[in-house]
Amino acid sequence: MLSFDAVALSVALWAAFALRFGVWTPPNTVDQFLTVLTAPMVAIPVFVRHGLYRAVIRYLPEKALWTIVQAMTIATLVWVLVVFLLEMSGRTVVPRSVPLLYWALGTMLIGGSRFAAKKLLWPREEALGIRKPIVIYGAGSAGAQLSAAIAREGRMFVVGFLDDSPRVQGSDVAGIRVFPPSHLSTLHEQYGVQEVILSIPSLTATRRQEILAKISGLGVKIRTLPAITDLVSGKYSINRIREIDIDDLLGRSSVPADPALIADMIEGHSIMVTGAGGSIGSELCRLVAKSSPQRLVLFEANEFALYTIERELAALTDVVVVPVLGSITDSACVARTMASNNVQVVFHAAAHKHVPLVEANVLEGVRNNVLGTLTVASLALKHDVETFVLISSDKAVRPTNVMGATKRWAEFIIGHMATAAAAKQTGQRFTAVRFGNVLGSNGSVVPLFKEQISRGGPVTLTDPEMTRYFMSIHEAAELIVQAGALSEGGDVFLLEMGNPVLIKTLAENMIRLAGFSVRDEANPRGEIELVVTGKRPGEKMYEELFYDEAAATKTKHPKIMRARGAANSSRVEEALAELREALDAGNEPDVRRILFGFIQ
């Protein structure tokens, strides 16, 4: 490439003079030779500095043409300066049109030759769009094995490794150069890198967050190898590389589940999950099904959701799965289900959870979330259910919306049932587990943002300063089961949610992980815009997990805390009678007044 460019630039300059003077004879004097030779002497160092000799022709991206134009422009300007000095010494005279002709001809020869070579020498690969240029982050043994697997598979080409260790930077691993992470933008520009694969299987959540923050935002997709526990065979294949999940950016330090706590709650027991087809309910069902229950009862009002989770669990032939289509407000159906299946543990996940929808449908939201919880909990007390676990929400703390208020009422009902069980000395445990948002749950912002990003934006925010707590669905399900095992009756468990996440930051990270750039004032040429729509009715700027943080006590699980139960649960029966009367009358203002008045 160096030799070709030296000849091509000399020819371009000679042709520029020939076009200007109309004389098509080669240079034949010392001054003419000196003038022509200055072109490659000046241009090639400029080309080296712009990385024109680092790019592999086979994988040259179209955007490299802009780099060639820039390099040729600078080379021409420097050559004009050199010629000016030669003219001052009386060595030569260059017409003003020659530099412009030289720039145009040089650009065509240098750029055109590269793309012509790519087209002629590797037409099939370009036509089929295969051999995608990628970068591997991590130059250890896992990265070396991954690069070998990629080479065998043949659809991608490893441009280089990125590694934080100065000891390996600049060296070759498996015949591939190792660069510092700061070189990713250069590799992206020169090679058209489309993807970065994190090949550090033992990576901690905190370290992963730091790396992703460092390399995201360049318009490249980021994927990762599975955890080291999934790679015990030591063999790497392309289909085991997974997409980076948004929860990889939360920086949460996960704590392995305690098998003893999960077994104590589930193993050999008849388990009933209400709302079994929902986000939390279905994940609870998956967890229960893997933990050797005696029976798993799926209680769900949505036919398709019940069909979906029942079909998924049907593959587990050693688990007895009983699908029940019914509403939690149907006391006869709930009682029949508990009695016929001898239910010992209930996970009550059924609820209307979408804040704006519940706000717009107050009567149905209260009937389902409050009276439905009352129905299931009272029948659990009657049918000697050993443990009842209510899935509550951080929106129950000082609620400003109907959904949060109904969850607070549900906590009061559980406290009341725990008091009744203690009075009868039945040994039954009624408890609530309160936590924030789960990533990817039905109706949450994550699926909405994904849909908006897939359409090309814009991504809508209600308020750029709004924050929320987040955890993964799987982690939430594990902690719910373990909290149930720790229950003493009448307690409210709080799951440690880490630090609240700015929704705006969450949206920006999702855009970058999808391989796009954010369009804002700092980057007006970005691909996807964030649009602020304003707060919806009942929404809070931030959520809380505690009424009184000082009153929360630690349990033997580092991610689970215990708080005092509802203080005024003794007045629940009277308040429920008043609420039921207003619901039967269809009086929404009265329902709202009673709903919020009782929890003040």
Q: What string of DSSP letters covers 343-405?
A: --EEEE------HHHHHH-HHHHHIIIIIHHHHHHHHHHHTT-SEEEEE--GGGSS--SHHHH
For helices 572-585 and 402-424, the axis angle rounded to 10 degrees is 140
Q: In what order do the strands lie in the sheet with 518-519?
A: 459-461, 528-532, 518-519
Lowest mean pLDDT among 178-192, 232-246, 292-306: 232-246
Question: Pick from 224, 194, 227, 229: which is nearest to 212 by CA?
Answer: 224
For residue 289, the cross-strand partners are none
Residue 300, H or E segment: strand 295-300
pLDDT for 361: 93
Residue 434, both tokens:
């309160």
**pLDDT reading at 580 higher than 80:** yes
**Cα–Cα distance between 132 and 126 in angstroms, integer?**
10
Residue 298: phi and psi, rounded to 5, are -95, 110
pLDDT for 438: 72
> What pairing do the DSSP bridges indicate for beta strands 345-348 and 270-274?
parallel
Map tokens 């208020």 to a residue.
405
Structural domain boundaries in the chain:
2-124, 131-244, 259-442+469-499+543-568
For 259-442+469-499+543-568, CATH number out of 3.40.50.150, 3.40.50.720, 3.40.50.800, 1.10.3210.10 equals 3.40.50.720
64 against 59, higher pLDDT: 64
Strands (E), 475-522: 492-495, 501-502, 518-519
Task: Give the tens place of pLDDT for each residue, 455-472.
Answer: 777 888 888 888 777 777
Task: Give the tens place of pLDDT for each residue, 332-343.
Answer: 999 999 999 999
> What pairing do the DSSP bridges indicate for beta strands 195-198 and 132-137?
parallel
pLDDT band at 301 (very low <50, low <70, confident <90, very high): very high
Q: In what order do the strands lie in the sheet with 156-162?
A: 172-173, 176-179, 156-162, 132-137, 195-198, 221-224, 242-243
Across 5-14, 79-88, 126-135, the highest mean pLDDT is recorded for 5-14
pLDDT for 279: 87
pLDDT for 343: 94
**pLDDT reading at 379 higher than 90:** yes
Lowest mean pLDDT among 247-256, 267-276, 465-474, 526-535: 247-256
167 against 218, higher pLDDT: 167
Residue 572, both tokens:
């629940």
What's the first-to-final CA gap in the chain, in angstroms?
Answer: 78
pLDDT for 128: 43
**Cα–Cα distance between 129 and 274 in angstroms, integer?**
49
pLDDT for 349: 93
Task: Give the tens place of pLDDT for each residue, 222-244.
Answer: 777 655 444 444 444 444 455 55
Chain mean position to CA 219: 15
pLDDT for 255: 64
Calculated CA dihedral for residues 57, 158, 155, 150, nearest 10 degrees: 150
pLDDT for 556: 80
**Cα–Cα distance between 186 and 183 in angstroms, integer?**
5
pLDDT band at 591 (very low <50, low <70, confident <90, very high): very high
Residue 394: phi and psi, rounded to 5, are -65, -15
**Cα–Cα distance between 217 and 452 in angstroms, integer?**
18
**pLDDT reading at 295 higher than 80:** yes
C-alpha to C-alpha distances, 400 to 306, 405, 406, 408, 592, nearest whole angstrom: 32, 7, 11, 11, 11
Residues with Cβ within 8 Å of 490's Cβ and at least 6 positions away in sequence, in order, are 414, 415, 418, 419, 422, 430, 431, 565
C-alpha to C-alpha distances, 343 to 275, 296, 351, 554, nearest whole angstrom: 16, 9, 20, 30
Q: Coil, strand, or helix at residue 504?
A: helix
Burial class (CB in 10 A: 0-12, 13-18, 19+), 440: middle
For helices 30-49 and 97-121, the axis angle rounded to 10 degrees is 60
Whole-model pTM: value is 0.63
Strands (E), 118-251: 132-137, 156-162, 172-173, 176-179, 195-198, 221-224, 242-243
272 against 217, higher pLDDT: 272
pLDDT averaged over every residue in the chain: 80
Residues with Cβ within 8 Å of 68's Cβ and at least 6 positions away in sequence, in order, are 52, 107, 110, 111, 114
pLDDT for 126: 42
pLDDT for 405: 92
Lowest mean pLDDT among 238-247, 338-347, 357-366: 238-247
Q: Are 483 and 493 in contact (CB under 8 A)?
A: yes
CATH topology of domain 131-244: Rossmann fold (3.40.50)
pLDDT band at 344 (very low <50, low <70, confident <90, very high): very high
pLDDT for 254: 58
Q: Are 200 and 494 in contact (CB under 8 A)?
A: no
